[in-house]
Protein backbone atom coordinates (compact mmCIF):
# COMPACT_ATOMS: atom_id res chain seq x y z
CA UNK A 1 0.00 0.00 0.00
CA UNK A 2 1.33 3.43 -0.89
CA UNK A 3 2.31 6.06 1.67
CA UNK A 4 -0.42 8.42 0.44
CA UNK A 5 -3.12 5.77 0.88
CA UNK A 6 -1.94 5.16 4.44
CA UNK A 7 -1.98 8.91 5.07
CA UNK A 8 -5.54 9.14 3.74
CA UNK A 9 -6.57 6.14 5.86
CA UNK A 10 -5.15 7.73 9.02
CA UNK A 11 -6.65 11.16 8.33
CA UNK A 12 -10.19 9.79 7.99
CA UNK A 13 -9.72 7.38 10.89
CA UNK A 14 -9.42 10.40 13.22
CA UNK A 15 -13.06 11.35 12.52
CA UNK A 16 -14.49 7.83 12.61
CA UNK A 17 -14.37 6.97 8.91
CA UNK A 18 -12.77 3.82 7.45
CA UNK A 19 -11.06 3.77 4.07
CA UNK A 20 -12.42 0.75 2.18
CA UNK A 21 -10.82 -1.22 -0.65
CA UNK A 22 -10.30 0.51 -4.01
CA UNK A 23 -13.60 1.10 -5.81
CA UNK A 24 -12.41 2.02 -9.30
CA UNK A 25 -9.09 1.26 -10.98
CA UNK A 26 -7.24 1.53 -7.66
CA UNK A 27 -7.49 5.32 -7.54
CA UNK A 28 -10.79 5.86 -5.71
CA UNK A 29 -11.69 4.46 -2.32
CA UNK A 30 -15.05 4.28 -0.59
CA UNK A 31 -15.33 5.98 2.79
CA UNK A 32 -17.33 3.98 5.32
CA UNK A 33 -18.68 4.95 8.71
CA UNK A 34 -16.57 3.05 11.24
CA UNK A 35 -19.58 2.50 13.52
CA UNK A 36 -22.23 1.18 11.12
CA UNK A 37 -20.43 0.57 7.80
CA UNK A 38 -22.60 2.91 5.76
CA UNK A 39 -20.89 4.51 2.78
CA UNK A 40 -20.35 8.23 3.41
CA UNK A 41 -18.31 9.20 0.35
CA UNK A 42 -15.33 8.55 -1.89
CA UNK A 43 -11.78 9.82 -1.99
CA UNK A 44 -9.10 9.61 -4.64
CA UNK A 45 -5.48 8.75 -3.98
CA UNK A 46 -4.07 11.56 -6.13
CA UNK A 47 -3.48 13.83 -3.14
CA UNK A 48 -0.17 15.39 -2.24
CA UNK A 49 1.45 14.60 1.11
CA UNK A 50 -0.39 16.40 3.91
CA UNK A 51 -3.50 17.15 1.85
CA UNK A 52 -5.69 14.42 3.36
CA UNK A 53 -4.95 15.55 6.91
CA UNK A 54 -5.57 19.20 5.99
CA UNK A 55 -8.79 18.32 4.17
CA UNK A 56 -10.26 16.37 7.07
CA UNK A 57 -9.10 19.00 9.58
CA UNK A 58 -10.76 21.78 7.56
CA UNK A 59 -14.03 19.81 7.61
CA UNK A 60 -14.05 19.31 11.39
CA UNK A 61 -16.93 21.72 11.99
CA UNK A 62 -19.05 20.02 9.33
CA UNK A 63 -18.53 16.59 10.89
CA UNK A 64 -19.11 18.02 14.39
CA UNK A 65 -22.37 19.68 13.37
CA UNK A 66 -23.65 16.55 11.62
CA UNK A 67 -23.58 18.20 8.21
CA UNK A 68 -21.02 15.67 6.90
CA UNK A 69 -20.56 12.05 7.79
CA UNK A 70 -23.04 9.33 8.60
CA UNK A 71 -26.65 9.76 9.63
CA UNK A 72 -25.95 7.47 12.61
CA UNK A 73 -24.06 10.38 14.22
CA UNK A 74 -20.77 8.57 14.76
CA UNK A 75 -18.60 11.37 13.34
CA UNK A 76 -20.37 13.91 15.56
CA UNK A 77 -19.47 11.89 18.63
CA UNK A 78 -15.90 11.23 17.52
CA UNK A 79 -15.27 14.93 16.90
CA UNK A 80 -16.74 15.75 20.32
CA UNK A 81 -14.01 13.60 21.86
CA UNK A 82 -11.28 15.19 19.74
CA UNK A 83 -11.93 18.81 20.70
CA UNK A 84 -14.91 19.49 22.96
CA UNK A 85 -14.71 23.27 22.77
CA UNK A 86 -14.48 23.36 18.99
CA UNK A 87 -17.32 20.81 18.83
CA UNK A 88 -19.51 23.01 21.07
CA UNK A 89 -18.82 26.05 18.89
CA UNK A 90 -19.79 24.03 15.82
CA UNK A 91 -23.09 23.11 17.48
CA UNK A 92 -23.86 26.74 18.25
CA UNK A 93 -23.01 27.83 14.72
CA UNK A 94 -25.09 25.04 13.19
CA UNK A 95 -28.09 25.85 15.39
CA UNK A 96 -27.78 29.52 14.48
CA UNK A 97 -27.94 28.56 10.81
CA UNK A 98 -30.89 26.24 11.42
CA UNK A 99 -29.02 23.11 10.35
CA UNK A 100 -27.25 20.08 11.62
CA UNK A 101 -28.36 16.92 13.31
CA UNK A 102 -29.35 16.93 16.96
CA UNK A 103 -27.87 14.55 19.49
Q: 2 or 69: whose pLDDT is higher?
A: 69
- The pLDDT, as a whole number, for residue 103 is 47
Q: Is the pLDDT of residue 96 over 80?
A: no
3-state secondary structure the chain: CCHHHHHHHHHHHCCCEEEEEEEECCCEEEEEECCCCCEEEEEECCCCCCHHHHHHHHCHHHHHHCCCCCCCCHHHHHHHHHCHHHHHHHHHHHHHHCCCCCC
**pTM of the shown model:** 0.87
For residue 32, what pLDDT is reported? 98
Domain ranges, ordered by start, for the chain: 3-97
**pLDDT tens-digit readout, 13-71:** 999 999 998 887 778 999 999 999 999 999 999 999 999 999 999 999 999 999 999 99
Amino acid sequence: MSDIVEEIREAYRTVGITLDQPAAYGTYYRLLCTACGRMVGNVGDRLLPGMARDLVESQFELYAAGLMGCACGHQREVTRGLDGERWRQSQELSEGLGGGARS
